[in-house]
Chain A
């Protein structure tokens, strides 16, 4: 009951200064919305990326020359296949294509001879020369659909016509947005690539525990190669979307610091009226602990409201409306950018981290200056 009365008093005290209270509440809520949105979105993208790409190639072997990525002879695949523990070596043919019509970059990928029926593909994978399957982004930007023609300019500056045999469904946008898939030989012909060359080699192994050992052996057999393990591939995506890294940290820390400055300024600048209030409370019998408890409640009242409101808003903004503001920032210079419909990988750890990083500094910066006023003599405080 005592705490309920203190809460009532704290609410009355906050409502006596409606302008100041609402200004703090709005800024506080907006900060939580921004931070929570970034946290939710990056966590979702990271989890989606790492759970999907876990079925990618176990080891990719690139050839390097003069410090740059170079095409690898397919004959090297035979040498690598002889390493004990290697199940299969598949040459991968892929590259980039700048489409001057839409001013966007496409990724051209070879099928590797696969004709498997894909759940997320409307139609089928291309089998013959002059066929291709395209991502939803390419289909949208070029306004082509299933069984339409897609014209692209090859390495000889000659326009080539491809019949679209499949369009990837928008559920796979995060993986296929800019993809144009065609048989390896068609792609080699398009790029003017020699038949005995590939972009890189995908190595699969029998025992995943041996990947590192096999990577070392690959490096020994082909000294000018760069083996990239699946672990490294996944680690890259952890680094890209880690909230502690890069821009996320800059955004997070700058917003937090700005808010701390605001809270500190607001809290240290206790007005004469507030000081008098503290003095009167002490004069009528409140002890220092009660005054501190009151100010603590005032901080908690604002913090809880801003935190819960901000979290709910961020949830709706990111997972129901597809992070409209953040996707503009994330998009950068990309012409083809998938529409974000992230899967909500949110757990209590994230909510608790956010609560700790935002509520504690605010409550502390509210209570500490009050303590200074509360320990001084009531008469002195009222006269000041």
Chain B
């Protein structure tokens, strides 16, 4: 029975570590929300920031929310993709929020 006891102790130990790490992550998140987030939000609000400064290699990776869908092609005719940032950005598809309604002049 000694082998199963050692194994079960190991599993219990690892499960305990995971549970403690989950608790730690929970408290870190609360700390982030209470202490860091207000300062980050102030920065975003004051400077009117729209994007994260993660990928500075191209316009459409630096400001993915601001770039149009075919902007990769505008950097260079042969430069279709910036790996891996370009691969991570999935096309956002049609944007139904900003629909354009056409009317004849008489209907206005």
Residues of A near any B CB (own CB < 8 A): 4, 7-8, 11-12, 15, 45, 49, 51-57, 60, 62, 64, 67-69, 90, 92, 96, 104-107, 109, 111-112, 114, 116, 118-121, 125, 135, 137, 168, 171-179, 181, 200, 202, 212, 215-216, 219-220, 226-229, 231-233, 235-237, 239-242, 245-248, 250, 301, 304-305, 308-309, 311-312, 315, 319, 329-330, 332-338, 343-348, 351
Contact = CB atoms under 8 A, between A and B. Distances in A.
Nearest to A114: B46
29 contacts: A7-B7, A8-B1, A49-B52, A51-B33, A111-B46, A111-B47, A112-B48, A116-B42, A118-B43, A121-B43, A168-B43, A176-B43, A216-B99, A219-B100, A228-B50, A233-B50, A233-B65, A237-B65, A241-B88, A246-B89, A250-B87, A305-B14, A309-B14, A332-B57, A334-B57, A336-B56, A338-B53, A344-B29, A346-B22
A60 B14 CA distance: 48
B66 A171 contact: no
A373 B72 CA distance: 56
Nearest to A335: B56
A302 B105 CA distance: 72
A305 B10 CA distance: 8
A7 B10 CA distance: 14
B65 A119 contact: no
Contacts of B64: 236-237, 240
A172 B54 CA distance: 12
A231 B39 CA distance: 22
A55 B41 contact: yes
Nearest to A111: B47
Taking residues whose C-beta sits less than 8 angstroms from the other chain, chain B's interface range is 35 or more
B54 A334 contact: yes
Interface of B: 1, 3-4, 7-8, 10-11, 14-15, 17-18, 21-22, 24-25, 28-29, 32-33, 36-59, 61-68, 70, 74, 82-85, 87-90, 92, 95, 97-101
Contacts of A135: 53
B52 A92 contact: no
B95 A232 contact: yes
A8 B4 contact: yes
B105 to A, nearest CB: 14
B79 to A, nearest CB: 10
Contacts of A250: 87
A235 B91 CA distance: 11
Given A8-B3, A344-B29, 16 more contacts: A53-B51, A68-B74, A125-B46, A176-B43, A177-B56, A178-B56, A212-B98, A301-B7, A305-B11, A308-B18, A334-B55, A335-B56, A337-B56, A343-B32, A344-B21, A346-B21
